[in-house]
Each structure stands twice: as C-alpha cells, then as structure tokens.
Structure 1
Amino acid sequence: MKIRDSALPVEERVADLLARMTIEEKIGQLVQLFGWQVFDKEGAAWTLTESFRERAREGRVGALYGTLRADPWTRVTLDNGLSPRAGAEAVNEIQRYAIEHSRLGIPLMIGEECSHGHMAIGATVFPVPLLIGSTWNPELFERMCKVVAAETRSQGGTVTYSPVLDVVRDPRWGRTEETFGEDPHLVGEMGAAAVRGMQGDRLDAPDAIGVTLKHYVAYGSPEGGRNGAPAHMGLQELHSVDLPPFRRAVEAGALSVMPAYNEIDGVPCTSSRYLLEQVLREEWGFDGFVITDCGAVQMLEHGHNVAASGAHAAALALNAGVDMEMSGEAFARHLPEALSQGLTDAAALDKAAGRVLAAKFRLGLFERPYVDPDAAERIIGAEEHRALAREVAAEGIVLLKNEAGILPLDRGSLKSIAVIGPNSDRMYNQLGDYTSPQRRNQVKTVLDGIRSQVGESVEIHYAPGCSVKGDSREGFGPAIACAEKADMTVLVLGGSSARDFGEGTIDLRTGASVVTDAPTSDMDCGEGIDRAELGLSGVQLELVQQLGRLGKPFVVVYINGRPVVEPWIDEHAAAILEAWYPGQEGGNAIADLLFGDANPSGKLTVTIPRHSGQLPLVYNSKRTRGKRYLETDLTPRYPFGFGLSYTTFQYAGLRVYPEVISPNGKATAEVLVTNTGSRAGAETVQLYVTDKISTVTRPEIELKGFRKIWLEPGETKTVTFELGEEQLRLTQPGNVRIVEEGEFVIRVGSHSAEGLEAGLRVSG
C-alpha cells in the first residue's frame, strides 16, 4: 500500500488512501471525539469504552480532543487523571486499538489545549498570552513554545488549539487574557513565533506539534465585549486589522485554522466560504486543514439560525471549507443525510478528508504513532522548564508606577512586610483559564516568593483581607492589623479565571483554606465571563482605601486577566506592578522584581483607560473618533506600549534615510538609545507610522516595528528599522494592498504616546 511508503509524496499517499475508503470512513476522518470520554479509569487501571472501540473498529473517528486535558469542565482531577507517564501509555493504547482493529489502520490525531502550556497534569504552566505579549520578545516566546511542544508531543499530543490571534478591542471581554493584545503587528509577530517554536523544522519531529490559529476572525471585537457576539466591521477594517495576524502565521506555515463562533456582517465564520476558501486558501495559499470550535456547527442551526436542519448546518460548514468538527456530533450524525439530500457532494467530502489525512502524514503519524513513556516522564514539568516559566513571567510583568523609586525594596532596611490581598496566596488565581489541576508545591504564590526572597531576616505578616468578588469585610480587621505592624505593605489584588478546582474558600481572617462540599469560585474573568466595567470586583477597593488611611506607603501587584481601572489606586499607591496571570512561577518572578533581582521590562499591549465609559479605547483608533465625552476626554491612564524600568533610557538622533523613496522602495530609520541610569536593563524600542493623507481612513498611528535591546549603564546602541511596503502599505476596498504616494511621519520611542519624529516621502 502506498500509504505505508514514506518516500512517496504526501499527495500520492492521500490519493491512494482515499481511493480505498468508504463514505463512512471518510466522514469518520472529519469527526473529533472528546478524548477524556473514550476511557474509564478506576484507581491505576483504565479501560477503553465500548462505544469508542466500536467507532474505532468501523473507522468512524479521525481525531480526539483533550485526551490528556484535565480541568473542572472535563471533570478530570489529580485523583482520577493521568500522570505524564500514564498519559503517554494511555495514548499509545488508544492509538494501538485504532490502528490494529480498523480496516485501514489509520492513526488518530490527538488534539490538546496549549494556550500557555500543555493542559495536562504535571505539565509546566507558563504565563498567559497577555503577559507573553507584554514581553515584546518573540524570540523568548519561541523558546517557550518549543518547550510546550516537547511536553505535549512526549505524551502523544500532535496538534494544539493555539495560538489565539484575536486582536482585542474591548477588554471587558473575558478572553482578553488569551490574547497578545490590541495591535495586529505585535499579534502577528507572536503568532509567527508560535508556529516556528511549536512546529519546528519538521512536523514529524518527536518534539513538534501542529498549531491551530484561532479564532478566525474578529472574535476579539465582539459587540459590547460579550463572548461570541457579532463583530461589526467592514471588509476594509477586517483586512487591515483582524486578518493580518492570521496571514502572518499562515505564511509561517501553520498547519490548522479554527473559525470563530461569531458572525461578521450577518455571516457566521463557520459557514463563510469567503473567509475559509477565498481568503484563506485562494489568496493566502493555506494548505492545512480547518477545524471548528466546539459546537460551532450546531450553532448554525440553533444560535445563528442560518440552517434549517442539522443536515443543512453540516453541509453549510463542509461546503464553506471546514474539514473537521471538534466534538464531531453534527458531522457524524448529519453528513450522511446531507449527502443523500444533495446538500453537499462526494467531492467536498473528499477534499475535507484528504486535508485531514495529509496533516496526519505530515505529522508522521503513519510512521511513528506511538511515544516513549520514559521520555514523557522525563520531559514534562522539567526543572529547566520551570526556570523558563519564571524568566518569561519576570520579563512580561509591567511596572506602571514607581513613585520616588520605592521599588526595588531594600531587604536590609526592612524589618517586616505585610502581604495582603485575595491573590497573595491563592495558587489557581495566578494561573489563568485553560489550566490543569495543580499540586500545591508546583505553584509559587506571591507570598511564597516573598518568603523565599527574604528568608528569616524579615518578618512576614499575611492576611487575605477579602475575596476577589465576595462582599464580606470580616477580613479587613486582620489585614489592617498586619499593615500596622509592617514597614511596608504589598497588596496583591485583581481578578481570577480559576474555575472550581476543589480548592475551597479562604478564611478571610487567617488566610487558611476552607474546603467545602459546595462548588466555589472567585472567577470574574476567563471564557464566558465578560464584564460591564473594569473596576476591581467585590470589596477590594474598599480594603485598599481603609489600608490607605494608615498613611503608610503601599505597593500594589495586580494579578488579573484584563486591565484594571481604579483611579484611586493609581493616585495613592506608591508603586503598581501589572502581573497579569504569571503562571506557576509567578510568585517567584514577582518577588524577583519587587526586590530588584530582575529589572522590569514589560510593556503594555493593551491600553488602560481612565474610565470604563471610554471603551472601546485602543491606541490605533481612527482620526475621526470624535473629541471627548462630557465627563472625560479620550486619553488613557496608561498608553499602549508603556512600562517603566528601574533605570532610564534616552532617545536621540532619529533620522530616516533616504528621505524620499518609490512605492516599492526601502528606507531605514535609525535612532540612538542610551541607558542613562545606574542599572542594566532592557528597553523595547517601538516604531510607529502615520500616513498623513490616504485614500481610505487610517489610524492616527500604527505600530510597524519593535526591537528589545539590553543596555548596561551608560551604554548606547544604534537601533535600525526597515521601512518599506510592509510598514507603509494600506488596504483599499477590494482587498487591494498598496503603498500610496505621499507624506509619512515616522515616530520612534518608548511607547505609543511619545517619541522622536522624522519625515518620509513616497513618490513615484
């Protein structure tokens, strides 16, 4: 059989296999079942379910989703879940059954969630993408992605449903934490880094997995910031803002794409032939496969209501260019009927099945369907992976305020520190959504990190004070007592995307965990948890204000998945660190920054407004955005790209040469950056472009380049950027990308609201 000959081209092997398959077997390749449901586990023993065995024998399943996933949604816990070794053994047994008991022996594709680490028990939990974006360091992210891919593939996972390339416009949206931010250029650079890191040089390598770009497209622009709500935009804006990050990652070689749940101008993405065929495949040359989000095909019938029946919905998706359905229920149930009714045809089915099979060949599954459990045990959660998680967290945490240089804290001058706040010592609160169950010693909280930093030389007083979103004030008294005894107070506030992991509640007076039978969660962020405004939940602000009456300086650390808008804290806190959800080593990374063992270099990738009523507020808004509200103007509290350091940087000598270029010509922007402080540090040099006059309206400024550099005290470096078609072009109606003649302003600086400027003219 040609399918067994790895020397043959993939296309030839796919054609040979399709010729041997029945319609039922072809439909089966489009079906992805929930992987955690295909086996039963009791104690250390587990068995494949009979329903899975039957479907596998008949070739009616092509892939599994989340076989190794563990979280409250799957109901997989530390007790009933799979260890790194057991997970590898289980996937091997599942693959073996599918291969040895089916007619054609086609291996399964094992898809897993890896937004910020392999979502399996024991795997390394890295910071969420919003923090990763704040590093402005694609090379560091690429290193992280290589680790995530190695951990996932070592257990048999072959495809991941990441990166998230949504350009976020309204941070009230609960999935803001899963994005890299509000700028398409930055998002695209991070997306390309994810493809390079996870897919490597060869998809069939033992440490590579295929990526799935999601959510295609405009999912980060929902009406009112509500998850899955319609996106209101025209094609020119779609092609200028939301599509470019996906195009960049497709050009990098991404294996798969996932349509978003939302609709655009009345057409659901899951059934949009324009997006999935014309743009993705015909214009961009994408040669991978398209997989739906969970339940998206059913939504065409019940939700969007553009399909009259299940068969109609399945046909709409298949005809639009969908190749596989996550959950698989609609395709498995309704595609046979859709074919018999003539709603779709055998050619469409062959295309979809062929794309899935091609991906399996490219992943090397026909040659190496099994993994080494010893390797999984060795690789997953390795010490060097934890060290990398700490490095990423420290580099992405943003210093927003540092009044009178209160940070870094001096261990030698402090006798006692009060650590207060609901996120001081709650491990799941600092991990973000899409996280697996954790053993307590796997996660270092802020309280853990501070204790580790100061040892016994400084007395630590701890009290949570309140919960994230509860209204109880019974913990205020103990918290105030802690602050009264301390030289310095570190307040750890924010939000939580932690689902109910059985951690229980917290005793607000002592900080001890209280396990209860009733489900408990402080969740105010994450998928499906959208908000109407951006203030702190619960009584957190009231706690801070009462502590502020003591007249002592305090430092605020935010741990959260979206920006916090609290003017009182901005005014009264001595220092503010925005830590997002920093992962399992987050507490150590925060302590490194608090005590100066690391120098902050994170920069915001989302604009933080002064008031929630300003939303949506992004740095790259149009010139025609209007002037102001009655109550406030449109200036942000903290602009896009902003972030302080323990040192200072000076920009000088910006020049652009030549000053005039042709539409297809190139120029260079050059600037001198000097570390004018006393500490070594990293600075992200940002390049923005303004098109003074254009045939279609454009943003006031647009990020078109960035470089992260390291400077010793007193050191000067010359930073250069290329200016050409990629940086200057716009998208005209009809998706025509062109560099127009005219005047451009080139700005280079430390963030979007300031910088040196120079001119550039494009002339034919």
Structure 2
Amino acid sequence: MTTEEKVGQLIQPFGWQAYDHRDGKIELTDSFKEQVKRGGVGALYGTLRADPWTGVTLETGLSPAEGADAVNEIQRYAIENSRLGIPLLIGEECSHGHMAIGGTVYPVPLVIGSSWNVDLYREMCRAVAKETRAQGGAVTYSPVLDVVRDPRWGRTEECFGEDPYLIGEMAVAAVEGMQGQSLASEDSVAVTLKHYVGYGSSEGGRNAGPVHMGWRELLEVDLHPFRKAVEAGAASIMPAYNEIDGVPCTVNKKLLDDILVGEWGFDGMIITDCGAIDMLAAGHDIAEDGQEAAARSLEAGIDMEMSGEMFGKHLLNAAAAGKLNLEALDRAARRVLTLKFRLGLFEQPYGNARLAGELIGSEEHRKLARQLAAEGAVLLKNEGAALPLSADDCGVIAVIGPNADNGYNQLGDYTSPQPAGRVATVLAGLQARFADEPGRVLYAPGCRIRGEDREGFPFALETAAKADTIVMVVGGSSARDFGEGTIDLRTGASLVTGDSWNDMDCGEGIDRLSLRLSGVQLELIQEIHKLGKKLIVVYVNGRPIAEPWIDERADAILEAWYPGQEGGHAIADLLFGDANPSGRLTISIPKHVGQLPVFYNGKRSRGKRYLEADSRPQYPFGFGLSYTEYRYDNLKVSTGVIGTDGEATVTVDVTNAGERAGSEVVQLYISDRASAYTRPERELKGFRKIELAPGETKTVAFRVGAAELEYVGENYERVVEPGAFRILVGGSSVETLEAELLVEKEAGR
C-alpha cells in the first residue's frame, strides 16, 4: 500500500454527504467519487443517519430498503474504482436503535439500566444488529459505558447509571448481543465502546469538561465496564473528549497503549469522537496546529478519525515533512483492515434490501421495545395504592402536560425523524385502552417544557375539572428541531407553522444548573392540584428530577425516563396494572441539586449532612416500588471463613407476599469493614431479576469470590485483603439483610 492509501484507511467522512437522493434515485456525489479514486477514504460515518444535525429528513432520507441500496451502490463504487478494491467500513449510531429512518426506537439506556434485565437487553442488541447489518452497517458507536457522577450532564440519558458493576454487566450483554457468534455473520455488527474514559465525571456536569479523579478511582470505577467489555471481545473503542490530570484521552498513551492494549490485550480498532483531534489544538491547546494534533493522536494509538477532517488534511503533509511516525501509520492501517476482514467485508460488503424492508421496524421489535419500556419504568411513590387504576373506577381521565402527546419528547437524543402516528405517546396509549369510550380520556398540554408561557393554563384547568383522575405527563425534552411546528396551548391542537418551538433541555451539549422541572411545569401541577382530584405524575425525561413539592403531594409518581416509540403503550400498561412496575433506580435522585454528587457508592468519610438538610437522596440507588410486596428471609453464607483465593455461596429466600405476580430485583452488596486504602461504604457486586407468583418463594444464590472482594490496593494492583466483610442482600441499596464473611490469609502467604 502507498502512504496515501494507508492514510485513506484511517479517514471516515460523513456518509450522508456521499450521495444525493432525489426523485427516488440515489446518485453518488462527485466529491465522494474523487476521494475514492485517490484511495482517500476507508470508512463512512452515519451513511444512514437522519436527524436535524445531518439535515436528512423523511422527505430526503432513505427507506429501509433504499438505505441498503445506497450502501450497496457506495460499496460497489469503492471496490470497483479504487486501486486495491478495499470495501468501506460503514459506521452507524445505535445507542437505542439504529438511527435510520424506519429503525425501531427503543428506550434510552437509562431505561435499560433501570430494567436490570441483562438478558432482555442482549435480545434488544441482537435486534438492533440485525436491523443495522441488513442495511449494510457494520459497526455501531455504542454502547455508552460512562459512569454518571453529575446528572446535570445532558448525556445522562445515554448511560446505564452510576454503578460500574451494573454498567459492566450491560456492557458484556451489548458485546454478546451486537457481535453475536461471529462478526462476519449477516446479523452482527462490531461495537464501539465509548467514551473511554471518565466522561461522566466532568467538572460541573459540563459536557467534555476536565475530569478530576484519582488513578485508583479511575481503575476501580470508570475503567471497570470497559475492561469487562474488552474481555468479552469488543471490536472497537472510542476515547472521550475530556482530559484527565491534564492529558486529553485522545492522546493518553497510558490509557490507549499501556492499559487498553498492554494490560487488557485489546486487539481492535481505536476511533476518535467527532472533532476530538481538532480539540487538541483548539480547546485543550496541547498542540500548536492541526498537523501536530493529527500526528500526536496517531502516535498515541488512534487508528481512525470520525469525520476524517484532521487526518485528511494533515497526515500526508506530516509524512512529507518527516513528522509522521510511519510505524504508527502501519499499525493503524493494519488494525482497520483487520476489523474489515473480521467483519467479512471482503467477502460480503453489501446490505440486503429485501431483508431490510421486512426486518426493520418489525412487529417483533416493537413488542421488545414495549417490554423494555415497561420493565425500565420506576414507580417512585404510590400513596394509598393510588395505582394501578381500575377502568371501572377511575372515571374520566385528564391527560395533561407538555409530554402527554409529544412523540419526539419520549424518544431521547440520537433519534431519526418519525412519520406521524408511529410513536405511541401516553395520550395515545390511554386512548387506545378506551377506544370504545372516546369521552373517557381528555387532553390538554397546559404549557411547554421551557418558557414562561401560561396561556394554556385555563384550558388545562378546565379539562382537569371535567375529570375524576388526572395524569400529569411532565419532564424534559431531548428532541432537536425536527420542524414539526408547535402546539396550540389553548386547545391542544397541532400547529404546523414555519416556526417550531425548541423545548430541548437535555441531550448532548445541553447541561443544566438545576434538576428542577424546566419552565412553568411545576406551577401548572400546583394549579391542577388545587382541584383536589387524584393526581398521578408521570415523568418523561433524560435525567433525574428533584422536585420536593411533587414528592410530597402527588398521589403516585412514575419515572418513565425516555421510553421510546412504544412508551405510551407501556406506560398505559403500568398505570392500569397490566404490567407490574419492576424498574429500579440505577441513579440516585437527590432532594436538591446542592447535594450533588449523591451517588450511593461514595466513601464513608464524605459526611452526613448539610446545614439545611441531610445528604441522603430522595430516592436511593436500587429503589423502586411494586404493586406487590416482597419479603427477604434466611440470608446465609455457605461458609463463614474463606481464603483470599476462595469463594462462598450466598443464598437468600425471596417471597412475593402480595396478591399480584411481579418481578423483583435482588441486589447483592459488599462492604469491606477495614482496608489499607479507603473503600466505598458498599458496592453492588451481583443482582438477579426474578419473577414471582403471589405467595411464591424462590431461593436466590450469588457467588462471592476474588472478583467480588478485590480492590485496587498497593502499587495500583488488584488484591483481596484478609479481613471482615459485610454481605448485604435486599431490594435496594438501603434496605438489606446482613451477614458476615471473614477472609483469611492462606498459610505460607
């Protein structure tokens, strides 16, 4: 290969700019054709992506079958018109579904984490891989494995939560589900783990801000999910934008070379995030110019650049000037080509238009999305058994709030345009339940997510006054401007105008000072509450909400996060008891933003209270209510004493003591009583989600050995220290039974 061809393999331009779609025809652009002929392109990013950022709309975008045809045309041209005939790597966004027109939109990862259902998530990942590969996509930029420490961060919704163990279990499921038995399979795609590393611990919760973290915490917490995913065989990884201790992750040789490749044995591809190399010279300011930034990132271990702009502009010039490490260039090109061989692209680089048309957005996948949305919703409050509602007794229902009938507001960020009626809102879900009684469900938007407009209050109050039960659907929005127009707050009617209202208060780059409801939503709820009707609050949002007034006064609170395209049906199922809430929090919800950080696995020395209030969250990690009651009994440890390389079996009996079938999340925590270096007060080290019929008892077993007891000790090496450990098992991080386990040093050690 020539130097230009090697550099070309490292360049990934924006795929949606490689073609024009007009009058049902796909034509490749002249600029793309010229780049192929020069050998200057090795991959494409977001060829099938559609959203306001790309500018691809329902009108200009591609149907599932057309998407496969477009990829095939692109691949065919690249193979037939380049000297070496190397196929392109087609990379797509798949955080909660393939981000292409028609792709199934699953709940965001925060919902998936809250489901605690690893098997169901693995099944979802298989479905997403099938949809993506059918269109010719071969690699996905997911899962997001960031550990959230400040939920004011706009990308909280993209994460599984605040606990590294749970995130690690989800990470393994994503690798197994997406990559399948073989990367070369027609229903598998390569995962890209992101964002490596510390991205969820940025200063002030500001996107891509500096991370202030000790090396021991980095090894124990933020690196843990990535290590688990690499051990599971992850094929690609993406460094984060942020810096740690003054070194941006994009050029951090200790992270990219020493740990990732050297210690963990990672043999896949390393790709930057979009614009990350440019940040080195214009943001982090550790490089004089773009050429130095490009050369340094390549030498540090980067193999491919998303967008390809800096590599494309500077690597060949750096080589001509003798400023490019040619061994690093060979390494990067080799890794990219190796991934293409592993994916079987040299044998089969094409999509399957027929299969794409049949598979993408299928009924089977919609059912899976609905189940995940139901299992990931968390019942936070249920005063006086306000839920479930009874169709015979609930009377007329008023569905009120800015998220009651806004489809895009329940999908989250990284979402493609949706045709009318495809997303089931909460209003649509309840209307479907009472399809034969149209007068049973009333609707008023009341207000928008953001802004001070109260002109919808009178109509909302008038509507609520006619009802017996009020369901307030409030929260946040990660919807970018899809040009959908706006809503007439005075009537609830859609207004298709040239001026659409952007309600976005969450999502990438949308970080907040507060965790309160935006705009005048709380004021609307307070006015509705004065009517004295049963008040059910449903949160649809991408980060925790801290509203003490609602916590105190609502009859019931259901946290649905962004539940995806079938969320409205799932929420209706939960409100009426067709599904029993089984979601449990994977992120602590504070009483006040001033408590942050408030994650459950903090150090013992962090203090107990502030002047104004204690430091405990409003709703702790692992918490969630059900329509039944679960009882824990007979916690036992198989042996009271083990060696540092031994193991014990922990068992507990869990009984459904209520009258409804349900699923309980049994959680195992470990607490080291004394250690050479400070430890968290407790850490999650196991969980099981089990189904129980009324009156049924199941015995749940956990293995406790070195993996559960070790930590990063002297010289930053993993060690199991002799001493006493508390074994804690229960239904949340604060409601547990307790037993003891003593670890002794083996003779001769």
Task: Give the TM-score of the pair, scaled to structure 2.
Answer: 0.99
Q: Could you tell me which of 325, 345, 348 is aligned with 2:328? A: 348
Q: How does 1:320-719 map to 2 (within 5 A)?
A: 320-457=300-437, 459-719=440-700
For the residue of structure 1 that corresponds to 2:618, the secondary structure is coil
What residue is the counterpart of 1:106 in the other structure?
86
Q: Distance in 2 between matches of 1:166 and 1:379?
A: 31
Q: 1:733 to 1:225 in 2, by over 3 A?
A: farther
Contact 1:236–1:733, Cα closer than 8 Å, also in 2: no
For 1:575, the aligned partner's letter is A
Contact 2:95–2:158, Cα closer than 8 Å, also in 1: yes
**Residue 668 of structure 1: how far off its partner (Å):** 0.9
For the residue of structure 2 that corresponds to 1:718, the secondary structure is strand
Q: Distance in 2 between matches of 1:43 and 1:574?
A: 54
What residue is the counterpart of 2:26 in the other structure?
46
**Residue 339 of structure 1: how far off its partner (Å):** 2.4
Deviations 1:473-515 (A, max 9, x none): 1111111111111110000000000000011111111111112
1:277 aligns with 2:257: yes
What residue is the counterpart of 1:310 in the other structure?
290
Contact 1:657–1:667, Cα closer than 8 Å, also in 2: yes
Contact 2:141–2:194, Cα closer than 8 Å, also in 1: yes
Q: How does 1:59-458 map to 2 (within 5 A)?
A: 59-457=39-437
Aligned alpha-carbon RMSD (Å): 0.8
**Residue 553 of structure 1: how far off its partner (Å):** 1.5
For 2:57, the aligned partner's letter is T
Q: Distance in 1 between matches of 2:715 and 2:141?
A: 31
Q: Distance in 2 between matches of 1:385 and 1:496?
A: 24
What residue is the counterpart of 1:750 in the other structure?
731
Q: 1:504 to 1:354 in 2, by over 3 A?
A: same
**Residue 124 of structure 1: how far off its partner (Å):** 0.3
Q: 1:519 to 1:487 in 2, by over 3 A?
A: closer
- Count residues in correspondence: 744
Runs of 4+ in structure 1 off by over 4 angstroms are none
Contact 1:292–1:322, Cα closer than 8 Å, also in 2: yes
Q: Distance in 1 between matches of 2:676 and 2:299?
A: 36
For the residue of structure 2 that corresponds to 1:684, the secondary structure is strand
Contact 1:556–1:575, Cα closer than 8 Å, also in 2: yes
Q: Distance in 2 between matches of 1:87 and 1:187?
A: 32
**Residue 242 of structure 1: how far off its partner (Å):** 0.2
Contact 1:131–1:393, Cα closer than 8 Å, also in 2: yes
Q: Distance in 2 between matches of 1:518 and 1:540?
A: 22
Q: Distance in 2 between matches of 1:107 and 1:443?
A: 36
Q: Distance in 2 between matches of 1:334 and 1:734?
A: 40
For 2:462, the aligned partner's letter is A
Deviations 1:710-744 (A, max 9, x none): 00000000001000011000112533001001110
Unaligned runs of 5+ in 2: none
**Residue 203 of structure 1: how far off its partner (Å):** 0.2
Q: Distance in 1 between matches of 2:739 and 2:201?
A: 33
Q: What is the percent sequence identity of the aligned residues?
A: 65
Contact 1:110–1:156, Cα closer than 8 Å, also in 2: yes
Q: Distance in 2 between matches of 1:84 and 1:302?
A: 39
Q: Distance in 2 between matches of 1:215 and 1:30?
A: 19
Deviations 1:629-648 (A, max 9, x none): 11111111000000011111
**Residue 519 of structure 1: how far off its partner (Å):** 4.7
Q: Distance in 1 between matches of 2:82 and 2:324?
A: 27
For the residue of structure 1 that corresponds to 2:603, the secondary structure is coil
Q: Distance in 2 between matches of 1:343 and 1:610?
A: 54
What residue is the counterpart of 1:12 in the other structure?
none
For 1:109, the aligned partner's letter is L
For 1:759, the aligned partner's letter is E
**Residue 451 of structure 1: how far off its partner (Å):** 0.7
Q: Distance in 1 between matches of 2:369 and 2:572?
A: 14
**Residue 367 of structure 1: how far off its partner (Å):** 0.2
For the residue of structure 2 that corresponds to 1:670, the secondary structure is strand
- Which sits farther off after the overlay, 266-275 or 448-457? 448-457
Task: Give the TM-score of the pair, scaled to structure 1.
Answer: 0.97
**Residue 552 of structure 1: how far off its partner (Å):** 1.5
Q: Distance in 1 between matches of 2:497 and 2:674?
A: 63
